C-alpha cells in the first residue's frame, strides 16, 4: 500500500509505517497544485491542518482508500464526499486535547494579569508597576462553548483553579464540571468565554453582534478552536470599544491572516495556531496515525 504524508509528521510515525511494510513517501512542503498531480498514485493520504483535501483532489485520486488527518479538525477535508466514494476518513481525536487545554488555561492567566504587556514594557526598559493591577481567575465564571474532549480537559483544569464553569453544548446531555446552560445565559454570565467547538456551517460566525451585545462588559475571550466561529470584524469593534477587555486568539478565519489589524490591537494576545504544538501531542498524533494506517493496511 502506498502512503503519501503531505505535512510534517513525526519521524517515528514514518519509520513505524515503513517497518510494517508500507511504501511511505513524505512531501511535507507539497503545494496544492503538485498534490493534484502526485496524489493519484497513492492509496493513503496523511495530512495535518495545512493540506486541504477537497472534492477535486478526491476525484483525481482513483486509488484513494484512506485519508488520515493527524489532529482533530476535519474542516479541511470534504469528509462526506470522501465517504460517499467509499474512502475512509480518520482523525486522532484525543492526541492533542491536553495541550490545547493547557494553552487555553495559560491564556486565561495572561489575560487576567496582562502578562504579555507587562513583559513588553520591561523589554522597553519601563517599570510600570502601577499599570498592571490585574484580576484573579479564581472565583470567576468561565463559559465554555463546546464541551467535547478539549472543553472537558479545560473545564477540569479550570475547576481545579477555583473557577466556576458553565457550558453550552446542545449535543451533550451531561457535563460533570458545571452547569449546562443556554448560549444566551452563558454569554450573560461569563467573565471569560472560551470556544471548544468545531467549525461547521452552523458555527461559522455564530458569535456575532447579537451575541457580543449579550456579554458582560469587560468580558475576556479565548479562541483555541477555529477561526471564523467568532465574527472577527465584530470582535475587533468590541475590543476597540472595551466591551471585550481582552482576547487571546490561536486561530484565525484566514491563516496566516492577511489583515493583521485584530492581532495588532493592544488588548489581543495571539499565537500562530499552536494549540497542538507540543512534543507530547505531536508524539501522540504520530503514534495514532501510524496505528490507524497500519491497522487499515492489515484489514
Ligand atoms: P470534540 O468533537 O471532542 O468536541 C467538540 C464539541 O463541540 C462537541 O461536544 C460538540 O457537541 C460541540 N458542538 C458542536 N456544535 C456545537 C454548537 N453549535 N454549539 C456548541 N457546541 C457545539 O472536539 P475537540 O477535540 O474538543 O476540539 C474542539 C475544537 O478545537 C475543534 O474546533 C478543533 O478543531 C479545535 N482544535 C484546535 C487546535 C489548535 O491547535 N488550536 C488543536 C486541536 C483541536
* Tens-digit pLDDT profile for residues 69-95: 999 989 999 999 999 999 999 999 999
For ligand 1, the distance from its centroid to the CA atom of residue 196, given in whole angstroms, is: 4
Mutate to test the pocket of ligand 1, among 196, 250, 277, 288 (most ligand atoms within 8 A of CB): 196
pLDDT band at 158, cuts 50/70/90?
very high
| pLDDT at position 277 | 94
The whole-number pLDDT of residue 142 equals: 99
Strand order in the sheet with 164-168: 179-180, 164-168, 141-145, 192-195, 219-223, 244-249, 268-270
Ramachandran angles phi, psi of 272, nearest 5°: -85, 65
Residue 217, pLDDT score = 98
89 DSSP β-pair partners: 67
> What is the mean pLDDT of the segment spanning 260-273?
97
- pLDDT bin (cut points 50, 70, 90) of residue 11 is very high
Distance CA(270)–CA(87), nearest Å, equals 36
> Which atom of ligand 1 is nearest to 75's Cα?
34
Which residues, 6 or more positions from 62, have their beta carbon under 8 angstroms from its beta carbon?
40
Question: What is the pLDDT, as a whole number, of residue 88?
Answer: 98
- Residues designated catalytic: 226, 255, 273
Q: How confident is the model at residue 270 (pLDDT cuts 50, 70, 90)?
A: very high
SS3 annotation, 126-137? CCCHHHHCCCCC
Distance CA 174, CA 133 (A): 37
Q: Is 260 helix (H, G, I), strand (E, B) or coil?
A: coil
- Percentage of residues of the chain with pLDDT beyond 90: 99
Q: Which residues pair with 222 in a beta bridge?
A: 194, 248
Quickly tell me which residue has 476518513 as its cell.
89
DSSP 146: -
- Predicted confidence (pLDDT) per residue in 181-193, tens digit: 999 999 999 999 9
The whole model's pTM is what?
A: 0.93
User: Ligand 1: distance of its center to the CA of 224 in Å?
Assistant: 9
Q: What average pLDDT does the segment 142-167 reach?
A: 98
Q: How confident is the model at residue 67 (pLDDT cuts 50, 70, 90)?
A: very high
Q: Please state, rounded to an integer, the average pLDDT across all residues of the chain.
A: 97
User: What pLDDT sits at residue 280?
Assistant: 97
Ordered by where they begin, the domains of the chain are 2-95+279-297 (3.40.50.720), 97-270 (3.40.50.720)
Region 21-29 average pLDDT: 97
In which order are the strands placed within the sheet that holds 2-5? 23-26, 2-5, 44-47, 66-69, 88-91
> Rounded to an integer, what distance in angstroms lies between the CA atom of residue 61 and that of residue 38?
9
Q: Please, are residues 111 and 190 in contact by the beta-carbon 8 Å criterion?
A: no
- pLDDT for residue 275: 96
Do 90 and 69 touch, CB atoms closer than 8 A? yes
State mean pLDDT over 218-244: 98
Nearest atom (ligand 1) to Cα of 153: 26
Amino acid at each position: 500500500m502506498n502512503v503519501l504524508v503531505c505535512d510534517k509528521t513525526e519521524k517515528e510515525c514514518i519509520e513505524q509505517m515503513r517497518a510494517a511494510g508500507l511504501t511511505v513517501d513524505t512531501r511535507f512542503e507539497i503545494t496544492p497544485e503538485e498534490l493534484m498531480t502526485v496524489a493519484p498514485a497513492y492509496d493513503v493520504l496523511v495530512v495535518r491542518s495545512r493540506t486541504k483535501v477537497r472534492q477535486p483532489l478526491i476525484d483525481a485520486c482513483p486509488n484513494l482508500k484512506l485519508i488520515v488527518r493527524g489532529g482533530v479538525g476535519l474542516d479541511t477535508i470534504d469528509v462526506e464526499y470522501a465517504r460517499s466514494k467509499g474512502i475512509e476518513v480518520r482523525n486522532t481525536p484525543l492526541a492533542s486535547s491536553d495541550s490545547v487545554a493547557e494553552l487555553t488555561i495559560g491564556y486565561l492567566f495572561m489575560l487576567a494579569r496582562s502578562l504579555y504587556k507587562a513583559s513588553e514594557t520591561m523589554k522597553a526598559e519601563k517599570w510600570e508597576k502601577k499599570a498592571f493591577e490585574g484580576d484573579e481567575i479564581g472565583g470567576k465564571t468561565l463559559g465554555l462553548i463546546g464541551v467535547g474532549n478539549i472543553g472537558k480537559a479545560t473545564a477540569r483544569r479550570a475547576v481545579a483553579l477555583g473557577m466556576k464553569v458553565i457550558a453550552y453544548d446542545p449535543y451533550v446531555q451531561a457535563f460533570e464540571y458545571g452547569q449546562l446552560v443556554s448560549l444566551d445565559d452563558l454569554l450573560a454570565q461569563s467573565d471569560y468565554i472560551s470556544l471548544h467547538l468545531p467549525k461547521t456551517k452552523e458555527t461559522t460566525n455564530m458569535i456575532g453582534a447579537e451575541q457580543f451585545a449579550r456579554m458582560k462588559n469587560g468580558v475576556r475571550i479565548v479562541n483555541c478552536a477555529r477561526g471564523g466561529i467568532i465574527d472577527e470584524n465584530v470582535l475587533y469593534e468590541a475590543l476597540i470599544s472595551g466591551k471585550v477587555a481582552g482576547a487571546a486568539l490561536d486561530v484565525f478565519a484566514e491563516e496566516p491572516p492577511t489583515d493583521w489589524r485584530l492581532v495588532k490591537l493592544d488588548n489581543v494576545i495571539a499565537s500562530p495556531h499552536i494549540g497542538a504544538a507540543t512534543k507530547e501531542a505531536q508524539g501522540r498524533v504520530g503514534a495514532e496515525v501510524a496505528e490507524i494506517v497500519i491497522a487499515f493496511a492489515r484489514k
